[in-house]
Amino acid sequence: MIWNEKIETMSRDEMTDLQNGRIANIAKYVYERVPFYTKKFDEMGINPDDIKGLEDLHKLPFTKKTDLRDNYPFGLFAVPMEEVVRVHASSGTTGKPTVVGYTRDDIDMWAEVCARSFAMSGANPGDMFQNAYGYGLFTGGLGMHYGAEKMGLNTIPVSGGNTARQMTLLQDFQTKVMACTPSYALTLADALVNAGINPEDLPVRNFILGAEPWTDEMREEIEAKLHANAVNIYGLSEIIGPGVSCESVEAKDGMHIMEDHFVPEIINPETGEVLADGEVGELVFTTVTKQAMPLIRYRTGDLCSLNREPSVCGRTLVRMSRVLGRADDMLIIRGVNVFPSQIEAAMLGIEELSPHYRLIVTQQDRLDRIEVQPEVTKAFIERVGEEALTGGHTAVTSLQKKIEATLKESLLISTKVTLIGPGEAPRSEGGKINRVEDRR
């Protein structure tokens, strides 16, 4: 089903008209209400009345994550605190968290874009829905929760982690739709098999996965293991949370951006120049309807491309590709740009490996070096024996060589590969996973 036919199948001309009006409004709104933008516009000599729409968007300043930190916690809010009904925050690894705020209308809009996402993922009103995104300051849990209730799903607010409980609910409540991170979907698949439960016997058929990068190869693995559809959902706290974009289950080919609320651009991350559809660059959003904390040309750090071709699902909303990496987790290994997702995609075809791995990044003589530690399958260990991994067994050495050759072919650089045993690589315990150990 399509949740909002009028918007989601709008012609390009109608969408452009809608966006033009909203861009003009938001430029005035932030200029009048947010001192940070008043100052920025004045410094750049921008008169908000001159901003008439999409064509003028490139004249506006970028907003960066550091601007949120500099105005911590509520300095970018455009409404008095009495109008703010919710705050969320995303935990950074260093420093203060990034704080975002919502008015009641913002919460309604968020529920709307999440309801559209559920429909895209194949959910229908009345379906049993198990929400395994974390509830709390993280936007995943509550964001999806409100969208699910808006659609009329039977919402189970189980939150993240506690795999034993997730499995009980999947069986006893007969869950049909489930949301979690893709890495947790894999944790769950393995746990089900270990508990002697065949996922095929469970009614769960739609997984709505996001909050971290993953690959098409990983989708195949998840779908095969769980006997279900897995669609990609994208979002970030600064823009709203989950529901910025989502794939349709019919196409599974790029995530439709809710562009009536979040106007996307792709830029060259070095020069800031706007790139054409199809070109890979940094994704930038202008929120055109948000009240509490609207952001102008917010630089997400996520690298992807845009596609305006109509989709087989009937939606006309522009699609973004998978996130290919983050501008800031790109590793430069002897002059070559490498993203962890490329390594993952290259290794997923190798039968002796599980989909789990760890990457260790070090620096020697000011050069990044990367050690790839893929985990072998149980079947492989049963064949070669427990000690083989450390003992220089020929099967191990030849597998190592095979992986090194595969990585060299896809990354164009040599990497060191060390095999690790089943269960040694990090697993998702419910939330986002971190596979890169940066020792620089």
| Site residues for ligand DLL per CB under 6 A | 90, 133, 138-140, 210-213, 232-237, 241-242, 300, 302, 323, 326
CB of 356 to ligand DLL, least distance (A): 18
Pick between residue 252 and residue 326 the one whose CB is nearest to ligand DLL.
Answer: 326
Do residues 204 and 129 lie in contact, with contact meaning Cβ atoms separated by under 8 Å?
no
- Pairing of the two strands 281-287 and 262-267: antiparallel
Pick between residue 179 and residue 425 the one whose CB is nearest to ligand DLL.
Answer: 179
Q: How far is CA 280 from CA 275, 298, 304, 338, 341, in A?
A: 8, 17, 5, 14, 15
CB count in 10 Å sphere of residue 331: 20
CB of 343 to ligand DLL, least distance (A): 15
- Which residue of this chain has its Cβ atom nearest to ligand DLL in the complex? 210
CB of 81 to ligand DLL, least distance (A): 22
Please name which of 336, 339, 299 lies closest in space to residue 322, comparing C-alpha atoms: 339
Indicate if the alpha-carbon torsion angle 327, 30, 28, 43 is positive or negative.
negative
Please name which of 64, 26, 67 lies closest in space to residue 48, comparing C-alpha atoms: 26
CB of 414 to ligand DLL, least distance (A): 27
162: DSSP letter: -
Q: What is the CA radius of gyration of the chain?
A: 23
Q: How many helices (H) and strands (E) does the chain have?
A: 13, 21
Q: Which two tokens stand for residue 286?
A: 């202008």
Residue 192 CA to residue 200 CA, distance in Å, equals 10
Residue 160 CA to residue 179 CA, distance in Å, equals 10
Q: What are the φ/ψ torsions at residue 258 (nearest 5 degrees)? A: -75, 70
CB of 247 to ligand DLL, least distance (A): 9
Pick between residue 140 and residue 281 the one whose CB is nearest to ligand DLL.
Answer: 140
Pick between residue 262 and residue 380 the one whose CB is nearest to ligand DLL.
Answer: 262
CB of 316 to ligand DLL, least distance (A): 21
3 state SS of 200: helix
CB of 105 to ligand DLL, least distance (A): 20
Do residues 147 and 114 lie in contact, with contact meaning Cβ atoms separated by under 8 Å?
yes
Pick between residue 236 and residue 267 the one whose CB is nearest to ligand DLL.
Answer: 236
Pick between residue 27 and residue 266 the one whose CB is nearest to ligand DLL.
Answer: 266
Pick between residue 236 and residue 333 the one whose CB is nearest to ligand DLL.
Answer: 236
Residue 133 CA to residue 254 CA, distance in Å, equals 22
Pick between residue 48 and residue 241 the one whose CB is nearest to ligand DLL.
Answer: 241
CB of 380 to ligand DLL, least distance (A): 29
CB of 43 to ligand DLL, least distance (A): 27
CB of 77 to ligand DLL, least distance (A): 17
Residue 197 CA to residue 4 CA, distance in Å, equals 37
Burial class for 271, CB neighbours closer than 10 Å (0-12, 13-18, 19+): exposed
Do residues 292 and 84 lie in contact, with contact meaning Cβ atoms separated by under 8 Å?
yes
Pick between residue 282 and residue 352 the one whose CB is nearest to ligand DLL.
Answer: 282
Pick between residue 327 and residue 420 the one whose CB is nearest to ligand DLL.
Answer: 327
